[in-house]
């Protein structure tokens, strides 16, 4: 048997390649797919014979299970319904991307427990599951159209270097598989990093494309305070929130980031680089908080993706964020617990700024105890 090779670069219609790949997986065949790291070998988890064949092709021992390729961080909850906050944080920030997470999978509602026993033995022999969202659009399209879970492993024999081109896949395992999707050299040509997460503990099992320092930063807690222009309310909120979290953790403001907590602010209509209002600086200085070095910034997709909690000054701000980024709904709250607004003091006397700061701080006093900061305490 020799694998059929589909050259994506010369394909007139990539959709045809996607459909042929989905058909092959649905028929129980093994295919090679491109990812941003290295090429992978994929099989449908609904076909136990295909998974068994994949294990035989790899020639790897039972203590090195196969992973699952999934479509998004949200899909990980189907496999690990009780994902810890740290695991969700790393998944949200790093996927799609070159990190494989290894998580406990003992929850009875996990989709894995509905798979054939032989598939479970090949993927979760030690009670943990490896999950990854490849950062390759064609591969993601294939997964979106497949009826069930996809088992994934690197395209090589055990102990051999992974294939980083379609030609290398053909040379290494071409006679054992059915289809190769050739998209030229992999973007990075280096394996994913493998990270074991158990509750709040992380352990890097394999340092691949992402180094340990970066992985550690992905576990940090990030809080974001949002108003309109990011010069009055949200800079004060940022300073007050940072102080309250520092007090809870028993550290100084200066050492908060080193502890693993970052507090930021942004505006939904902010121009970048504007300083905080003089009145806001004065009011914060009176309570021992320095925001004189603040520079405004607009909220971006990256800030939205990375923030664990977003506190908005008005319900209008919250609705604007959710309208633009629907995935923010569960992480975005109005700073007022009753859903009301904290008014904009811009252009008004300093007494109004002081009153605004007091309102913000009163609300933060109730929010901070609810934050999951257990990893940093």
Closest by CA position to 269, among listed 321, 307, 325? 321
pLDDT band per the 50, 70, 90 thresholds, residue 271: very high
pLDDT band per the 50, 70, 90 thresholds, residue 12: confident
Distance CA 97, CA 275 (A): 35
pLDDT of residue 11: 86
**Mean pLDDT across 345-350:** 95
> What is the number of other CB atoms lying within 10 angstroms of the CB of residue 66?
23
* Domain residue spans of the chain: 4-213, 220-376
pLDDT of residue 143: 95
pLDDT of residue 123: 96
Residue with tokens 């026993």: 117
User: Which residue would you say has higher pLDDT here, 77 or 159?
Assistant: 77
- pLDDT value at 62 more than 80: no
pLDDT of residue 95: 97
Q: Is 30 helix (H, G, I), strand (E, B) or coil?
A: coil
How would you classify the pairing of strands 99-104 and 31-33?
Answer: unpaired
**Mean pLDDT across 38-53:** 97
pLDDT of residue 64: 85
Q: Is 203 helix (H, G, I), strand (E, B) or coil?
A: strand
**Mean pLDDT across 152-168:** 93
**Mean pLDDT across 370-374:** 94
Helix axes 278-286, 233-249, angle to 10 degrees: 20
- pLDDT value at 1 more than 80: no
The CATH number of the domain covering residues in 220-376: 3.40.50.2300
CATH T-level fold of 4-213: DHBP synthase (3.90.870)
Quote the pTM value. 0.91
pLDDT tens, residue by residue, 132-151: 999 999 999 999 999 999 99
DSSP H helical ranges for the chain: 14-26, 48-58, 76-79, 85-94, 117-123, 137-145, 166-173, 212-218, 233-249, 256-259, 278-286, 301-306, 315-324, 350-367
pLDDT of residue 61: 77
Residue 63's H or E segment, with its range, is none
> What is the number of other CB atoms lying within 10 angstroms of the CB of residue 367?
17
**Mean pLDDT across 175-194:** 96
pLDDT of residue 309: 98
- pLDDT value at 110 more than 90: yes
pLDDT band per the 50, 70, 90 thresholds, residue 63: confident
**Mean pLDDT across 236-255:** 97
Domains 4-213 and 220-376 in one fold: no
pLDDT of residue 67: 97
Burial-class residue 204 by CB neighbours within 10 Å (0-12, 13-18, 19+).
Answer: middle
Mean pLDDT of the chain: 96
Distance CA 172, CA 153 (A): 14
pLDDT tens, residue by residue, 80-93: 999 999 999 999 99
pLDDT tens, residue by residue, 189-226: 999 999 999 998 999 999 999 999 999 999 999 999 99
**Mean pLDDT across 264-275:** 97
């Amino acid at each position: 048997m020799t694998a059929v090779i589909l050259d994506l670069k010369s394909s007139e219609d990539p959709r045809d390649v996607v459909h042929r790949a989905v058909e092959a997986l649905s028929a129980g065949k093994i295919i090679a797919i491109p990812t941003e790291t290295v090429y992978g070998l994929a099989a449908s988890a609904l076909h136990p014979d295909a998974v068994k064949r994949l294990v035989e092709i790899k020639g790897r021992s039972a203590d090195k299970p196969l992973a699952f390729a999934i479509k998004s961080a949200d899909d990980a909850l189907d496999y690990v319904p009780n994902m810890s906050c740290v695991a969700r944080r790393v998944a949200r920030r790093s996927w799609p991307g070159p990190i494989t997470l290894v998580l406990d999978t003992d929850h009875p509602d996990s989709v894995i427990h509905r798979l054939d026993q032989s598939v479970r033995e090949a993927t979760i022999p030690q009670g943990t599951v490896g999950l990854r969202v490849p950062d390759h659009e064609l591969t993601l399209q294939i997964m979106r159209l497949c009826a069930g879970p996809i088992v994934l492993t690197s395209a090589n024999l055990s102990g051999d270097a992974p294939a980083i081109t379609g030609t290398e896949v053909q040379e290494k395992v071409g006679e054992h598989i059915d289809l190769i999707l050739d998209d030229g050299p992999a973007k990075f040509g280096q394996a994913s990093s493998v990270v074991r997460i158990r509750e709040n503990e992380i352990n890097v099992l394999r340092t691949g494309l992402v180094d340990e320092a970066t992985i550690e930063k992905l576990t940090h807690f990030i809080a974001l305070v949002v108003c309109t222009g990011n010069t009055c309310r949200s800079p004060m909120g940022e300073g007050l929130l940072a102080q309250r979290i520092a007090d809870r953790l028993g550290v100084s403001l200066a050492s908060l980031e080193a502890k693993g907590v970052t507090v930021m602010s942004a505006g939904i209509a902010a121009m970048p680089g504007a300083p905080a209002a003089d009145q806001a600086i004065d009011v914060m200085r009176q309570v021992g908080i320095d925001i004189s070095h603040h520079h405004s910034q607009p909220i971006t997709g990256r800030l939205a993706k990375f923030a664990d909690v977003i506190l908005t000054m008005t319900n209008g701000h919250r609705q604007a964020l959710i309208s633009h980024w629907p995935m923010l709904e569960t992480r975005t709250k109005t700073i007022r617990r009753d859903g009301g607004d904290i008014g904009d003091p811009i252009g008004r006397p300093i007494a109004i700024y002081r009153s605004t700061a007091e309102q913000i701080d009163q609300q933060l006093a109730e929010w901070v105890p609810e934050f999951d900061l257990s990893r940093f305490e």
